[in-house]
Amino acid sequence: MRKNIVAGNWKMHKTNTETVALLNEIMAQLKTPNCEVIFAPTFVNLKTAVDTVKGHHITVAAQNMHQAEGGAFTGEIAANMLTDIGVNTVILGHSERRAYFHETDALLENKVNTALKHNMRVIFCFGEELKDRQNNNHFNVVEYQLRDALFALEKKDWANIVLAYEPVWAIGTGETATPEQAQEMHLFIRELIAKVYGNDVADNVSILYGGSVKPDNAKEIFSKPDVDGGLIGGASLKANDFLAIVNAF
């Protein structure tokens, strides 16, 4: 059965000291949540975060990784560097990686394969831009992002895939897809996966929504049957906002 997940993507925010402070503030108030709680701090703070959350039911994830096993790639991070410090979940394909660092679906396919080879779980982000939605091309764009990056996977690989539908026009903009728009797309995605991999894979994959999820809209978005949680940017940086979103489940 698929699980509900609320994941905070801290992007390039929070120093090491601030990371510990925010985690402690959240952990002090986190009751037994009805969902998995994930934080993705920046690379240099991952080990500190792993140590800080020890003993709590919290997962620490990376925001990115390189597709190669290692080598002359200045400034990059390999999968085994993450797993070695206890980070076994990685966000791949975030729209900011696609837009500012030119990550393509072909590159992301490589990254996904490398992560899975290392038994990591992937939170795979994708979603249309505003012009795609205005041109009524959003279902097509989403379908091809998934086909190009994920549909060469074997059925068994899907046990380690979490999907995060993030319409680019709703990220960090204050614009949110309506709960109905989110549900419509999530259902489309689940039906597409069912066609390619069968109902068992489709029913078991968690599909998160991302794009300006806040305490005041989380409950309604999460109440939709095909929305299994959220990938949260801005609101994950404030303990009370993030806790309110977690408690929306």
Nearer to ligand PEP, 193 or 218 (CB): 218
Binding segment toward ligand PEP, per CB under 6 A, in 17-25, 81-89, 187-195, 207-215: 207-215
Q: Taking CB under 6 A as the rule, does residue 167 contact ligand PEP? A: no
Q: Using CA atoms in the order 219, 97, 122, 88, what is the torsion angle rounded to 10 degrees?
A: -100
Q: Is 114 in the site for ligand PEP (CB under 6 A)?
A: no
Choose, by CB under 6 A, the member of 15, 134, 147, 172 that binds ligand PEP.
Answer: 172
- The DSSP element (H or E) to which 58 belongs, if any, is strand 58-62
Select 95 or 183, whichever has its Cβ closest to ligand PEP. 95
Query: Residue 242: beta bridge partners?
Result: none
Helix segments in the chain, DSSP class H: 16-29, 46-53, 79-84, 95-100, 105-117, 130-134, 138-150, 179-197, 199-204, 215-222, 239-246
> What is the footprint of ligand PEP within residues 7-46 (CB under 6 A)?
9
Catalytic site includes residue 36: no
Is 94 labeled as catalytic in the residue annotation? yes
Nearest distance from C-beta of residue 210 to ligand PEP, angstroms: 4
Q: Given the complex with ligand PEP, which of 33 and 215 has the nearer CB atom?
A: 215
Residue of the chain from 92, 116, 185, 213 that contacts ligand PEP (CB under 6 A): 213
Long-range contacts of 97-106 (CB under 8 A, 24+ apart): 97/64, 99/168, 105/144, 105/145, 105/148, 105/149, 106/148, 106/149
Catalytic (active-site) positions: 94, 166
Binding site for ligand PEP (CB under 6 A): 9, 166, 171-172, 210-213, 231-235
